[in-house]
């Protein structure tokens, strides 16, 4: 077996890399694929807690890289999904504790026995990020429809291009349909127009994601949640299937909601006059 190594990265922190990694790993494992997830956010590990495996860590990524244990001893198998396992990050070392070469060897070994190997990248564009993308067959860039996240994603896309990797694919996380309709949030088309890369999926903002993280049970298995549905669709796309995008957010707002939005903006701007910033 020779699986695919997929790195999930973003530049900016807090846009949902870990949530995306956990949910895609769970969705693919639920579909019957064997999946390994590597948390490379050394010093700030979190994938273990989102996957609900934090209490079972014995060894970690740095232990494996430095030869203190065998890879199989550090892997934590999910109890519900036996085809899913996690290689947790070290919480005490720092991001330079592992080299691209060492991570490459570990990922290659996991690829030999899994259909998918996910690498959850740390935030930032330094060594940890470079490690995470160096070994990837495919790169997923996570952003949110916010100006800060899109700018960071653009930078990361440029760095991936510079590194000689093939272009990544984009997941837009935490879209809020009501704000898009009011003209207060970038929509999918806007983000794609700026970043000019392929879209892998769009995930609506969903309270169920926070609740799932609270419980340590990624919610891509939840049939009632729209975000869960979006994650399952993305997982299917990763297996090569063509799945249409959810018709959630993208229809143009009707005249009535535009009038309401305009009226609200009119009122807001009376009470808070907005001065346009100029960058000159």
Q: Tell me which residues touch another protein (CB under 8 A).
A: 147, 150-151, 154-155, 158, 182-186, 190, 194, 259, 261-262, 265-266, 268-269, 274, 276-277, 279-280
Residue closer to another protein (CB basis): 178 or 259: 259
Instruction: Report the residue number, 240 or 274, with the smaller CB distance to another protein.
Output: 274
Bridge partners (DSSP) listed for residue 58:
none
Round to whole Å and give the CA distance between 20 and 59.
24
> Residue 185 CB, nearest distance to another protein (Å)?
6
As measured in angstroms, the least distance from the Cβ of 10 to another protein is 16
**Pairing between strand 76-77 and 169-175?**
unpaired
The closest of 117, 112, 168 to 138, measured between CA atoms, is 168
Nearer to another protein, 217 or 260 (CB): 260
CA-to-CA distance for 165 and 185, rounded, in angstroms?
Answer: 31
- Residues in a beta bridge with 138: 6
Question: Please, what is the minimum distance in Å from the beta carbon of residue 179 to another protein?
Answer: 9
Question: Which residue's CB is nearer to another protein, number 151 or number 217?
Answer: 151
Q: From the CB of 40, what's the least distance to another protein, in Å? A: 25
Q: Which is nearer to another protein, 1 or 270 (CB)?
A: 270
Question: Do residues 56 and 23 make contact, with C-beta atoms less than 8 angstroms apart?
Answer: no
Given strand 198-204, what is the order of strands in its sheet? 76-77, 84-87, 35-39, 116-120, 4-9, 138-143, 169-175, 198-204
Cβ 275 to another protein shortest distance, Å: 11
User: Phi/psi at 44 (nearest 5 deg)?
Assistant: -135, 50
């Amino acid at each position: 077996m020779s699986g695919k190594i997929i790195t999930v990265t973003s530049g900016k922190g807090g846009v949902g890399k870990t949530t995306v990694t956990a949910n895609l790993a769970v969705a693919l494992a639920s579909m019957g694929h064997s999946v390994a997830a590597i948390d490379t956010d050394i010093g700030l590990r979190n994938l273990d807690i989102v996957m609900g495996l934090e209490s079972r860590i014995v060894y970690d990524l740095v232990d494996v890289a430095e030869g203190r244990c065998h890879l199989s001893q550090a892997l934590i198998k999910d109890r519900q999904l036996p085809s899913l396992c996690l290689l947790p990050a070290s919480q005490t070392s720092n991001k330079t504790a592992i080299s691209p070469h060492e991570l490459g060897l570990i990922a290659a070994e996991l690829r030999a026995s899994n259909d998918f190997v996910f690498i959850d990248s740390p935030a930032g564009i330094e060594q940890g990020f470079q490690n995470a993308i160096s070994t990837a067959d495919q790169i997923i860039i996570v952003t949110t429809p916010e100006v800060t996240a899109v700018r960071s994603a653009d930078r990361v896309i440029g760095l991936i291009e510079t590194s000689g990797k093939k272009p990544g694919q984009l997941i837009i996380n935490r879209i809020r349909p009501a704000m898009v309709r009011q003209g207060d949030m970038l929509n999918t088309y806007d983000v794609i127009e700026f970043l000019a890369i392929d879209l892998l999926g769009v995930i609506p903002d969903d309270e169920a994601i926070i609740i799932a993280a609270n419980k340590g049970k990624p919610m891509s298995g939840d049939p009632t949640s729209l975000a869960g549905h979006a994650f399952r669709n993305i997982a299917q796309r990763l297996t090569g299937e063509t799945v249409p995008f959810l018709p959630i957010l993208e229809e143009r707002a009707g005249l009535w909601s535009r009038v309401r939005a305009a009226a609200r903006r009119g009122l807001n701007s009376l009470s808070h006059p907005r001065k346009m910033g100029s960058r000159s």
